[in-house]
A and B are shown apart, each in its own frame.
Chain A
Amino acid sequence: MNLSIFLEQIPDGDGTWLQSLMSGLGWTLATAFFAWIIAFSVGSAVGVARTTDRRWLVFLGNGYVELFRNVPLLVQFFIWYFVVPGLFLPVKAWVTTLDPTQHQFVTAVVCLGLFTSARIAEQVRSGIQSLPRGQRSAGYALGLSQRQTYRYVLLPMAYRIIIPPLTSELMNLIKNTAVAYSIGLVELFFRTREMGEMTFRYFEAFAAATLVYVVIAMSANRIMALIERRTAVPGYIMGAK
């Protein structure tokens, strides 16, 4: 193992391999960040829809989750990158105005965002359904509307309960950004592989990427544990009904 490779200049490029990997990490985190915003908002909306008493909303919500859960992420990337612009001319027209990097980035954010949203929808639904039924009744009995009951009574508790599974979803999302390599997004895995191929120092490159992913996973765990502690409800034992 020779660490000096990371400080070597990239042939025909600017900067060192270390800088290249760090820029890849930047794309990974940026993609995950924006995808998480989509995933969290869409996932919450779909998850809530699946707990209402409107049959067609539940049906649509269930269909949404099944759709994204039963197609491999890689294939979903191909769908968003090739099939959607190929089928819908306005999308194609818009995509051609983007430069390739923008196109890859937007695709990755949308694809990962919606893919993850289906998984978050599942967590939100189970979180809401794990609350005692009387909580909803109590909200209604006080005159709160359905919207207010979700906003002030059900969701604050449901989100607290599902912090641990949401943590794994966040980590899955960060790991899944590596699949964006398939459409050419220059995220961390792309840069790792590039470094391996150009220097034949696969071991160093992969070890560096592994280390970075492990550090990300550990920090994500820490941050979520901190949030869990901050939002803990005094006197309420999580996991107990």
Chain B
Amino acid sequence: MIEINNISKWYGKFQVLTHCTSKVDKGEVVVVCGPSGSGKSTLIKCVNGLEPFQAGEIIVDGISVGAKQTDLPKLRARIGMVFQNFELFPHLSIMENLTLAQIKVLGRSKEEATAKGMKLLERVGLAEQAPKFPGQLSGGQQQRVAIARALAMDPIAMLFDEPTSALDPEMINEVLDVMVELAKEGMTMMVVTHEMGFARKVAHRVIFMDKGEIVEDAAKEDFFGKPRSERAAHFLSKILNH
């Protein structure tokens, strides 16, 4: 579904990604972790072309993300993305947040989009919030709406960029619960997160990044059982002892 082949990226002279290669198969859940500044968020933003890259190739569902002739908006519409800071549109009601792209990008009718939006809001347990505005919701609620907004586009895969790291601790679980459920339904997911509990529960594979490189890319059992690299072991010991 998602193939990342030998990606390198520079900000000016500073190299942020170095020869990154990995893939996410259909129905697979892949967790990307690593210390801050390791390039994991940059990598996931390369997958739907939000960040350009200078070398290598990313193929999503047979389409090359970096190629000039690729219709990026069309491709992005098929990949859901959830951001660290939710990025709901503050001037639109919760329902309008869910319907905007359905109407403007997919060309659905307002009724159809609203019905779809309502179904997804019910699913994340926020149906009664539909007429409210993002600023009136808690962080956890906003992030659940953001997930529903991405799902409304019927994506073939979902990207999560640290979806819980801007949340107060007591709100993390309500978001993770939605993600776990999604994973169990067979959604293809690539998740940048520090939540190792989530990784243990639903991930198939774990990618560990450091200094712009993919240091480890292993099945979950192998990663948590016997990480091959010292850096990954060190990272795990720090993050799990909390």
A-to-B contact residues, CB < 8 Å: 132, 134-135, 137-138, 140-145, 148, 152-153, 156-157, 160, 233-237
Contact = CB atoms under 8 A, between A and B. Distances in A.
Contacts of B149: 142
A152 B101 CA distance: 10
Interface string B69-113: 000111111111101110111110000000011001110000000
B133 A141 contact: no
Given A134-B83, A141-B81, 16 more contacts: A137-B87, A138-B81, A141-B76, A141-B79, A141-B150, A142-B149, A143-B75, A143-B101, A148-B104, A152-B100, A156-B91, A157-B91, A233-B90, A234-B135, A234-B136, A235-B137
For the complex of A and B, list the 7 residue pairs with the smallest distance between their C-beta atoms, beginning with the closest: A235-B135, A143-B77, A138-B87, A235-B136, A142-B101, A141-B81, A236-B135
A156 B134 CA distance: 15
B74 A143 contact: yes
Given A235-B135, A236-B135, A138 B89 contact: yes
Contacts of B85: 132, 134
A160 to B, nearest CB: 7
A142 B100 contact: yes
Nearest to A156: B91
B153 A134 contact: no
Interface residues of B, number: 36
Interface of B: 45, 48-50, 72-81, 83-85, 87-91, 100-101, 104-106, 132-137, 149-150, 153
Contacts, number: 87
A233 B79 CA distance: 29
Nearest to B72: A140
Contacts of A143: 73-78, 101, 105-106, 153
Contacts of B79: 141
B133 A144 contact: no
Given A134-B83, A140-B50, A233 B91 contact: yes
Contacts of B49: 140
Contact of A236 (B50, B78, B133): B133
Contacts of B84: 134
Contacts of B88: 138
24 contacts: A135-B87, A138-B83, A138-B89, A140-B73, A141-B80, A142-B77, A142-B100, A143-B74, A143-B101, A143-B105, A143-B106, A143-B153, A144-B73, A153-B89, A157-B89, A160-B91, A233-B133, A233-B135, A235-B132, A235-B133, A235-B135, A236-B133, A236-B134, A237-B135
Contact of B90 (A140, A145, A236): A236
Contacts of B91: 156-157, 160, 233, 236
B95 to A, nearest CB: 14
Contacts of B106: 143
B135 A140 contact: no
Contacts of A145: 73
Given A144-B104, A233-B135, A236-B133, A135 B74 contact: no
A135 B86 CA distance: 9
Quick one: which of B77, B84, B90, B132 has the most chain A CB within 10 A?
A: B90
B185 to A, nearest CB: 21
A153 B77 CA distance: 16
B132 A234 contact: yes
B48 A141 contact: yes
A153 B89 CA distance: 7
Nearest to B93: A234
A234 to B, nearest CB: 4
Nearest to A234: B133
Contacts of B133: 233-236
A140 B76 contact: yes
Quick one: which of B78, B100, B106 has the most chain A CB within 10 A?
A: B100
A157 B104 contact: no
B135 A137 contact: no
Quick one: which of B79, B104, B105, B150 has the most chain A CB within 10 A?
A: B104
Contact of A137 (B74, B78, B83, B153): B83
Contacts of B101: 142-144
